Every structure is written in C-alpha cells, then in structure tokens.
Copies of this chain bind each other. A is one copy, B any other.
C-alpha cells in the first residue's frame, strides 16, 4: 500500500466512527454485489434507459430484471420516471454514482502508470 494512502487513512476515523458507517456502506456494497445489478448500474451511468431497453441490452428475462430494479430502487440507487407505458430508470445523484465511477477507474481503466 502506498504511504500516502496509509497516512490518509491513519489520520481518519476511530473504530467507533468506522463501525457506525460500516453498516450503511456494507448495505450499498451488497446491493451492488450482484453481476446483474452491477451491469444495470454501470449501464445507467451512460444515461436513463427504459426497462425494455435494459432487458435487451443486458439480455435478462423481464421479471428477473424488474426484481433487480426493485432492489436498486429500495436502496435509493436508482429512480424512475414514467413516460406513457414505459418506465425509465436513472441513477440517483448520490454516493452510488461516485462508487461506480471509482469501480470503473479501478477495474476498467487500464494501468497507465
């Protein structure tokens, strides 16, 4: 680990403070820790999509997709807007978006050291 990172974190939270956030953070991670949900969220980073569009793009059966969307809604990670018969999903402007960006940088941007 880098000395910088170490120093940054060492100066940080107490165990008690850490514990008080661990639950919240762990819940968010749990919500994102399913391949389908991760794909959904990553897709929504590009913009909003209807359920049908997600279904096609991600090749998931419709009720299965809808169930995952329900989980994401429950965690406040996504929000919906209705447009006629269709329902469009988009990312909530929150920590989840930051997390996805971080995940993207860590896992999807090639090492350019």
Name A's B-contacting residues (CB within 8 A).
1, 5-6, 8-10, 12-13, 15, 17-19, 21-27, 29-30, 32-39, 42-43, 45-47, 57-58, 91, 93, 95, 97-99, 101-108
Contacts and interface: CB of A to CB of B under 8 A. Distances in A.
A77 to B, nearest CB: 12
A26 B22 contact: no
A13 to B, nearest CB: 6
Contact of A21 (B6, B23, B30, B107): B107
B108 A95 contact: no
Given A45-B9, A97-B5, A108 B21 contact: yes
A15 B58 contact: yes
A42 B106 CA distance: 17
B15 A47 contact: no
Nearest to A34: B26
